[in-house]
């Protein structure tokens, strides 16, 4: 049996500047932190010559094309994995809570399937393969943010080039900053859920349509992300807190669906 454990993430700055419609014009920058809430994927051989997939529901299929779960179906097709397989997914947090769990699920699943095939991929290749599956194969209006954070973990900075290339960097800081963040940040589950792709589709459509207000808001979000990196490298948590507030106010200008309030 193969088991993968893939982290979810929280965005600290720049979130949304990775979507293709924006990054292809202006480039993107994000800083995020993986957290200790995980998506677990198990892959195991089955005696029967079919495929069993268990997540919030259970599917039995004769071949990959018959699977309803779009990510599982396309991952099996992409890696040419045949029947005689069981895939189980469980997670520490519910889906659609804003922690990038779809990206974590996809990275974890691909990692498990490659391991099943006795193949080893680097974090970057896993992130790119997951991005291709979600963005190009399934046509999700997202960026590469969640997939890269899931693959690399830690507190990570992403610079998105206009051609789609991604440069991954670590925060130039010390352990005290990590501890400081852990002492100052709280997450609350409100019970409210929403599809991130719905929000990002709004943003992407606005950018493609030349909406200047949304474009300016994303410029602001990206610039605040750069300032967040600077504040954290300095260990300046008071400034960081103020930037988080500005970041949220800018994010709310991107789409009415951003805030549930």
pLDDT digits (tens, 9 = 90+) for 40-55: 999 999 999 999 999 9
Q: Does residue 198 register a pLDDT over 80?
A: no
Residue 35 within a domain: yes
Position 260 scores a pLDDT of: 59
Position 200 scores a pLDDT of: 76
Residue 257 within a domain: no
b vs e for 126-164, b when ≥16 Cβ sit within 10 Å of the residue's Cβ?
Answer: bbbbbbebbbeebebbbbbbbbbbbbbeebbbbbbeeee
Q: Tell me, what CATH number does 109's domain have?
A: 3.30.230.120
Phi, psi of 48 (to 5 degrees): -75, 150
Residue 153 within a domain: yes
Residue 260 within a domain: no
Q: What is the C-alpha separation between 78 and 41, in angstroms, rounded?
A: 17
Q: What's the CA angle centered on 29, arms 27 and 35, to 5 degrees?
A: 145
Q: Does residue 259 register a pLDDT over 70?
A: no
Total domains present in the chain: 1
Residue 259 within a domain: no
Task: Tell me the pLDDT of the chain averaged across its residues.
Answer: 93
Residue 151 within a domain: yes
Q: Which range marks the domain in which residue 77 is found?
A: 2-251
112 neighbors 88 (Cβ within 8 angstroms) = no
Residue 63 within a domain: yes
Q: Kindly report the number of other CB atoms within 10 A of residue 216's CB atom.
A: 12
Burial (CB count within 10 angstroms: exposed 0-12, middle 13-18, buried 19+), residue 204: buried
Residue 169 within a domain: yes
Q: pTM to 2 decimals?
A: 0.93
Q: Report the percent of the chain where pLDDT is more than 70.
A: 98
Position 130 scores a pLDDT of: 99
């Amino acid at each position: 049996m193969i088991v993968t454990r893939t982290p979810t993430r929280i965005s600290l700055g720049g979130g949304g500047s990775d979507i293709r419609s924006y990054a292809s014009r202006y480039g993107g920058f994000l800083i995020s932190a993986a957290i200790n809430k995980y998506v677990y994927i198990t892959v195991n051989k089955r005696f029967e010559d079919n495929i069993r997939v268990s997540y919030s529901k259970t599917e039995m299929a004769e071949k990959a094309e018959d699977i309803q779960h779009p990510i599982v179906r396309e991952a099996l097709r992409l890696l040419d994995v045949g029947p005689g397989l069981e895939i189980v997914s469980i997670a520490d947090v519910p889906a659609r809570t804003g922690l990038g769990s779809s990206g974590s699920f996809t990275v974890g699943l691909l990692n498990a399937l490659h391991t099943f095939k006795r193949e080893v991929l680097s974090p970057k290749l896993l992130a790119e393969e997951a991005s291709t599956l979600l963005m190009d194969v399934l046509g999700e209006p997202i960026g590469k943010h969640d997939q890269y954070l899931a693959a690399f973990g830690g507190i990570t900075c992403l610079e998105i080039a206009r051609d789609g290339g991604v440069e991954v960097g670590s925060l130039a800081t010390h352990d005290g900053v990590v501890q400081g963040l852990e002492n100052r940040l709280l997450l609350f589950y409100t019970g409210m859920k929403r599809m991130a792709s719905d929000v990002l589709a709004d943003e992407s459509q606005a950018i493609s349509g030349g909406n200047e207000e949304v474009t300016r808001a994303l410029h602001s979000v990206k610039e605040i992300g750069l300032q967040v990196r600077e504040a954290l490298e300095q260990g300046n948590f008071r400034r960081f807190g103020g930037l988080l507030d500005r970041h949220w106010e800018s994010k709310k200008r991107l789409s009415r669906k951003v805030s549930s309030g």
